[in-house]
């Protein structure tokens, strides 16, 4: 046969079972947390009309996979889920509001691929549409925290407010047009430190690789004011609010941003959420232009996951949905970086990915008795034990056990003619080998020999397997 060369597109990836099972588990745990807050699922098409997709500025448009479909319409693959949510809010006017929706679907961006960045990736978005209440923002923040805890990850959620940052512009005498650039520089604080950020606000700097980074060219007096703001180092949420209130006491219209910070803070205090779990970090800006109020992000605090960066982030965007509805529709939400969380969970776990859903492999020693083995497998399934019946071409039990071992199936059932005659079954505890960290050479022996193997009456099969699985 002449074969077609199998290739993946650059920037795209397959998820094999081991990765898929872990990813599905992560998604399902986060979903449970958001459902506990009453968020409901939505699904929208991958393709949208060009007119729907554009309008986020040139940069986004260049990233969209756009083409003319056979009916002659210009369409594109969605590059985020927010634009689809906006379209949905405009099309179905009778959706009860507030609409608390989550959506877990892939998006596509024609972007420069690198090891951690793909051109197709799964987005898990949560948004509350149709309310100005800060409780909506607070709930997205606390659910972010809850879901990371649920995944066994230690985290800090940091939040600030775009209105407060706009007051910073007024406080520093910086024109609004510079806001976007300024916020981009502020977002580097975490990685680059205050000193480098100050340089980038002024004349620019040279990075470690010798590359020149242009500065914003702000005046010294302006930079001094920003430095004053960034150097506020409040220990608690209420300290932060006090500090920013004092600093901006002569700034016009500063009250609303501070009120929003305060309302979220009061919610968190009422729920006794410690000051180091969810913190006000005034410098957080988040890159996107469309945020109008609270902005927030989650970072992992465990050292093993420290290189992962922000794993969730978002903010309030009260003016975006109006592009479709023709009237302002307030909204707030966050995106969860499933790929980053996956990396974090892996870096914490250390163990092999389990690539099987089966807890038991029923091996087949005597192919002529295949239906007897099938009956054993079916009986185990009826008892709620996920069971694979070996259907491959290997007739050697050793090779069938190796198959189980490679897929991390923890238990194998072996029945030969002696066992059939005596009404017995043999059970091999393959998981024990992994747990006791038998090295590879010994493992081969262990799999092959009758180590970890017991022969019991057939009637005890279910209970014996249950107790092995309970111990593993």
Find the binding residues for a copy of itself in span 261-290 (CB under 8 A): 266-267, 269-271
Which residues from 6-45 bind a copy of itself, rule CB under 8 A? Answer: 6-10, 12-17, 20-21, 23-24, 35-45
Task: Please return the burial class of 348, using the count of CB atoms within 10 Å of its CB with bins 0-12, 13-18 and 19+.
Answer: middle
* 65 vs 420 by CB, closer to a copy of itself: 65
187 binds a copy of itself (CB under 8 A): no
472 binds a copy of itself (CB under 8 A): no
Which residues from 103-132 bind a copy of itself, rule CB under 8 A? Answer: 106, 108, 110, 120, 128, 130-132
Residues with Cβ within 8 Å of residue 303, at least 6 apart in sequence: none
Please state, in angstroms and rounded to a whole number, the distance separating the CA atoms of residues 94 and 108. Answer: 30
387 binds a copy of itself (CB under 8 A): yes
Minimum CB–partner distance for residue 110 and a copy of itself (Å): 5
Please state, in angstroms and rounded to a whole number, the distance separating the CA atoms of residues 378 and 420. Answer: 17
159 binds a copy of itself (CB under 8 A): no
Q: Name the residue among 30, 20, 201, 208 with its Cα closest to residue 103.
A: 30
Please state, in angstroms and rounded to a whole number, the distance separating the CA atoms of residues 271 and 266. Answer: 9
* 14 vs 208 by CB, closer to a copy of itself: 14
Give the one residue of 27, 60, 95, 232 binding a copy of itself; rule: CB under 8 A.
95
How far the first Cα of the chain sits from its last, in Å, is 46
Residues with Cβ within 8 Å of residue 111, at least 6 apart in sequence: 11, 63, 117, 119
* 77 vs 185 by CB, closer to a copy of itself: 77
Q: Name the residue among 345, 357, 338, 349 with its Cα closest to residue 18.
A: 357
Q: Which stretch binds a copy of itself (CB under 8 A): 181-189, 196-204, 246-254, 324-332?
A: 324-332
Minimum CB–partner distance for residue 79 and a copy of itself (Å): 13
* 75 vs 261 by CB, closer to a copy of itself: 75
Q: Strands, E, within 301-379: which ranges? A: 310-316, 331-337, 360-362
199 binds a copy of itself (CB under 8 A): no
Number of residues that bind a copy of itself (CB under 8 A): 109
Cβ count near 178 (within 10 Å): 15
* 182 vs 268 by CB, closer to a copy of itself: 268
Give the one residue of 80, 125, 127, 139 binding a copy of itself; rule: CB under 8 A.
139
Alpha helices in 350-414, H assignment, sequence order: 370-382, 397-406
Omega before residue 114 within 30° of 0, cis: no
Give the one residue of 92, 177, 249, 470 binding a copy of itself; rule: CB under 8 A.
92
Residue whose entry in the numeric block shows the structure tokens 């925290």: 145
Minimum CB–partner distance for residue 242 and a copy of itself (Å): 19
245 binds a copy of itself (CB under 8 A): no
* 9 vs 221 by CB, closer to a copy of itself: 9
427 binds a copy of itself (CB under 8 A): no
Minimum CB–partner distance for residue 424 and a copy of itself (Å): 20
Residues with Cβ within 8 Å of residue 184, at least 6 apart in sequence: 285, 287
């Amino acid at each position: 046969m002449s074969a077609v060369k199998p290739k993946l597109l650059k920037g795209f990836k397959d998820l094999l079972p081991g990765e898929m099972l872990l990813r599905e588990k992560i998604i399902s745990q986060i979903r449970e947390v958001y459902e506990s807050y009453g968020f409901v699922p939505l699904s929208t098409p991958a393709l949208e009309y060009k007119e729907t997709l554009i309008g986020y500025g040139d940069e986004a448009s260049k990233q969209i996979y756009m083409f003319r479909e056979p009916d002659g319409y210009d369409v594109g693959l969605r590059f985020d889920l927010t634009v689809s949510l906006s379209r949905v809010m405009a099309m179905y006017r009778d959706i009860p509001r507030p609409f608390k929706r989550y959506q877990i679907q892939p998006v596509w961006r024609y972007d420069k691929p690198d090891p951690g960045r793909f051109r197709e990736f799964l987005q898990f978005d949560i948004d509350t549409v149709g309310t100005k209440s800060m409780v909506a923002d607070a709930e997205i923040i606390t659910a972010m925290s809850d879901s990371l805890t649920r995944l066994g990850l230690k985290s800090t959620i940091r939040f600030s407010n775009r209105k407060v940052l706009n007051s910073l512009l007024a406080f520093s005498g910086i024109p609004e047009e510079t806001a976007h650039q300024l916020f981009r520089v502020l977002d580097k604080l975490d990685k680059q430190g205050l000193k480098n950020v100050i340089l980038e606000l002024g004349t620019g700097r040279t990075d470690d690789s010798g590359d020149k980074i242009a500065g914003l060219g702000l005046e010294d007096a302006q930079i001094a004011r920003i430095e004053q703001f960034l150097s506020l180092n409040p220990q608690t949420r209420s300290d932060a609010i006090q500090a920013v209130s004092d600093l901006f006491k002569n700034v016009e219209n500063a009250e609303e941003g501070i009120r929003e910070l305060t309302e979220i803070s009061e919610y968190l205090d009422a729920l006794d959420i410690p000051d180091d779990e969810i913190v006000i970090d005034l410098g957080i800006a988040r890159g996107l232009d469309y945020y109008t109020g609270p902005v927030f992000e989650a970072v992992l605090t465990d050292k093993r996951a420290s290189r992962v960066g922000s794993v969730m982030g978002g903010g309030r965007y009260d003016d975006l949905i109006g592009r479709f509805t023709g009237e302002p529709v307030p909204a707030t939400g966050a995106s969860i970086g499933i790929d980053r969380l996956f990396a974090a969970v892996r870096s914490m776990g250390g163990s092999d990915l389990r690539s099987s859903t089966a807890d038991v492999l029923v091996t087949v020693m005597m192919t002529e008795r295949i239906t007897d083995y099938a009956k054993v497998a079916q009986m185990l399934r009826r008892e709620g034990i996920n069971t694979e019946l070996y259907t491959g071409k290997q007739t050697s039990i050793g090779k069938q056990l190796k198959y189980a071992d490679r897929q991390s199936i923890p238990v194998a059932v072996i029945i030969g003619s002696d066992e059939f005659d005596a009404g017995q079954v043999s059970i091999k505890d393959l998981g024990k080998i992994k747990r006791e960290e038998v090295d590879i050479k010994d493992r081969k022996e262990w799999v092959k020999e009758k180590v970890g193997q017991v022969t019991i009456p057939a009637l005890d099969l279910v209970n014996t397997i249950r107790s092995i699985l309970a111990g593993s």
